Amino acid sequence: MNGADAILATLADNGVEACFANPGTSEMHFVSALDREPRIRPVLCLFEGVVTGAADGYGRMAGKPAVTLLHLGPGYANGVANLHNARRAYTPIVNVIGDHATYHRKYDAPLTSDIEALARPNSRWIGVAEDADHAAYLAAEAVRHSFGPPGGSATLVLPADCAWSPATRKGGVAERPMPAAPDGAQVDAAARALKAAAKPVVLIGGQACEARGLAAAGRLAAHGIRVLTDTFVARQPRGGARYSPDRMPYFAEMALSDLAGADLMVLAGTTQPVAFFAYPAMPSVLVPEGCQELSLAGRAEDAGAALEALADALGAPAEAAPNGYAVPERPTGEINAYTIGASIARHMPEETVISDDAVTSGLPIFMQTRGARPHDWLALTGGAIGQGIPVAIGAAVACPDKKVLCLTGDGAGMYTVQGLWTIARESLDVTVVVFANHSYRILGIELSRTGAGKPGVSAASLLDLGDPRIDWTALARGMGLPAVRCETAEAFDAALAGAMGQKGPIVIEAAMS
């Protein structure tokens, strides 16, 4: 048993079942050890941004970490953007970053870099192995720390000699840390404040948006209290009889207009809402002036239980009011986010997982699927586009029996387009819908919102993806996936019905203009 064997056995003992990887020379012993650890499934991704995004999607759906295998500082750095999104999703992930052998690091070979410095901003814990036994010990620590609470990336830097040297023992089995029980005083304070407030709102996020918290939030709504979710929620069960609250609008002025007159904001599983970006002469904090803020439960607490206790304390009804949702009619005519949303609501099967990186197209679809068949919605939590395809991969690996529907803008999709190959390689049950509007459309909106003026030739060239137009069916086929391009709402509806009705991967290019 070498260090790599001991690490993998320890990870498997701690429940790790998937390894998303893009290895290099310094990880060869880890790669070889995967042959001897059948409990962990290796999944090759052709770029590290796919690796880390897949680990995020896996962690959101499995509720436990996958392990990533990354090649020194540059390999890790390629995965940072999606680890940033995962940090904002509080997803448990164990990153193993291969490094030069301990004795080799001082020579500053070409691939040497300051891995710890690169990893620090997106790691809730970092361990640097000193020898093989230490590496195995750290593997268990990494799993434990990945759970938080709240969850996050635990990073294990693994010098090559710690992997190839003999190990004498595995690491232990770490106890999973649990979120703190709700604080009775906070629950009482929130109940009192809600009773006294004229126009209160309860803002939920993170763990409060899981099944238990949502059900309790639905009881609060049935009691007459307005409930909102964060704009971007890591994983939100929706559809069917589930309570589906509104979410905070993305744009600051819309959020503040929506909240006008609110005199109390109770926060559960989240923190004070702030604008995604600053704009000239626009406030940063999305709480109306004079509105009291009160935290019911932070991210490290059991916000779902706290909401339940709050609903009980208020004597709220036992259940949320029914949705009153009607399945949309078959859409016709020009294809747009509304017609696509209607088709998705019509055809997606029960337990679909939606990976949303659709940017400007996401909200109309979110609205229309409110009461569709039960599904999970995984949002872009950290604003770093390129999450959609990778997160879909991870969700599909975590949930092989569920249909995964990836919604991605064309600009966002190009960031991690290599993920299509992994979907093909693993025959994942993923339908990728690409919103081909041939632009960074959100930036066209933001350019005017920031007061930067009308775009001239240079500015316009930096927002436009239309010259040349990207042919997503060619890209998909080039990576081994079937693909179809739809030009009308009717064609899309038919293509999506087909994709939803059978197993296996496909790419649907929705021609938006």
Distance CA 134, CA 161 (A): 12
- The position carrying tokens 């004498």 is 168
Could you give the angle at which helices 48-62 and 388-398 cross, rounded to 10 degrees? 50
For the bound state, the minimum distance from the C-beta of residue 175 to its own copies, rounded and expressed in Å, comes to 29
Residues in the chain: 513
Cα torsion 132, 134, 135, 139 to 10°: value is 140
Q: What is the DSSP string of 409-427?
A: EHHHHHHTTTHHHHHHHTT
Q: Where are the beta strands (DSSP E) in 135-194?
A: 153-159
Show contacts with its own copies in window 318-377 (CB under 8 A). Answer: none
Please identify, using beta-carbon distances, which residue of 329 and 467 lies nearer to its own copies. Answer: 467
Contact range with its own copies by CB under 8 A, out of 131-139, 215-223, 448-456, 485-493? 448-456
User: Is residue 249 near its own copies by the rule CB under 8 A?
Assistant: no
Residue 41: strand pairing partners: 18
For the bound state, the minimum distance from the C-beta of residue 349 to its own copies, rounded and expressed in Å, comes to 26
Please identify, using beta-carbon distances, which residue of 224 and 480 lies nearer to its own copies. Answer: 480
Pattern 200-239, its own copies, x by CB under 8 A: --------------------------------x-------
User: Is residue 44 near its own copies by the rule CB under 8 A?
Assistant: yes
For the bound state, the minimum distance from the C-beta of residue 44 to its own copies, rounded and expressed in Å, comes to 5
Please identify, using beta-carbon distances, which residue of 306 and 420 lies nearer to its own copies. Answer: 420
State which H helix or E strand residue 9 sits in: helix 3-13
User: Is residue 166 near its own copies by the rule CB under 8 A?
Assistant: no
User: Is residue 457 near its own copies by the rule CB under 8 A?
Assistant: yes
| The two structure tokens encoding residue 366 | 């979110």
For the bound state, the minimum distance from the C-beta of residue 170 to its own copies, rounded and expressed in Å, comes to 19
Q: Identify the residue among 275, 363, 367, 497 touching its own copies (CB under 8 A).
A: 275
Distance CA 413, CA 430 (A): 14
Please identify, using beta-carbon distances, which residue of 284 and 513 lies nearer to its own copies. Answer: 284
Phi, psi of 62 (to 5 degrees): -85, -20
Please identify, using beta-carbon distances, which residue of 101 and 193 lies nearer to its own copies. Answer: 101
Pattern 65-104, its own copies, x by CB under 8 A: -------xxxx-xx-xx--xx--x-----------xx-xx
Contact range with its own copies by CB under 8 A, out of 273-281, 293-301, 302-310, 393-401? 273-281
| 236-238 and 375-378 beta bridge pairing | antiparallel
- Cα–Cα distance list, 491 to 324, 329, 356, 435, 449 (Å): 28, 14, 22, 14, 35
Distance CA 164, CA 145 (A): 25
User: Is residue 120 near its own copies by the rule CB under 8 A?
Assistant: yes
Phi, psi of 486 (to 5 degrees): -115, 135
Show contacts with its own copies in window 20-39 (CB under 8 A). Answer: 21, 23-26, 28-29, 31-32, 34-36
User: Is residue 465 near its own copies by the rule CB under 8 A?
Assistant: yes
- The position carrying tokens 């048993």 is 1
User: Is residue 381 near its own copies by the rule CB under 8 A?
Assistant: yes
For the bound state, the minimum distance from the C-beta of residue 457 to its own copies, rounded and expressed in Å, comes to 7
Show contacts with its own copies in window 403-432 (CB under 8 A). Answer: 411, 414-415, 417-418, 421, 424-425
Q: Identify the residue among 134, 212, 226, 477 touching its own copies (CB under 8 A).
A: 477
Q: Identify the residue among 241, 313, 459, 497 touching its own copies (CB under 8 A).
A: 459
Please identify, using beta-carbon distances, which residue of 44 and 494 lies nearer to its own copies. Answer: 44
Q: How many CB atoms lie within 10 A of CB 457?
A: 6
Q: How many CA atoms lie within 13 A of 109 on its CB side?
A: 11
Sign of CA dihedral 280, 284, 286, 288: negative
Q: Are 394 and 425 in contact (CB under 8 A)?
A: no
What number of chain residues touch its own copies (CB under 8 A)? 102
Q: Identify the residue among 129, 447, 499, 511 touching its own copies (CB under 8 A).
A: 447
Q: Identify the residue among 166, 334, 462, 503 touching its own copies (CB under 8 A).
A: 462
For the bound state, the minimum distance from the C-beta of residue 396 to its own copies, rounded and expressed in Å, comes to 17
Residue 257: strand pairing partners: none
Q: Are 485 and 338 in contact (CB under 8 A)?
A: no
Q: Which amino acid would we find at residue 117? A: A
Please identify, using beta-carbon distances, which residue of 218 and 288 lies nearer to its own copies. Answer: 288
For the bound state, the minimum distance from the C-beta of residue 456 to its own copies, rounded and expressed in Å, comes to 3
Show contacts with its own copies in window 282-301 (CB under 8 A). Answer: 284-285
User: Is residue 145 near its own copies by the rule CB under 8 A?
Assistant: no
Question: What is the side-by-side order of every strand in the sheet holding 200-204?
Answer: 246-247, 226-229, 200-204, 264-268, 292-297
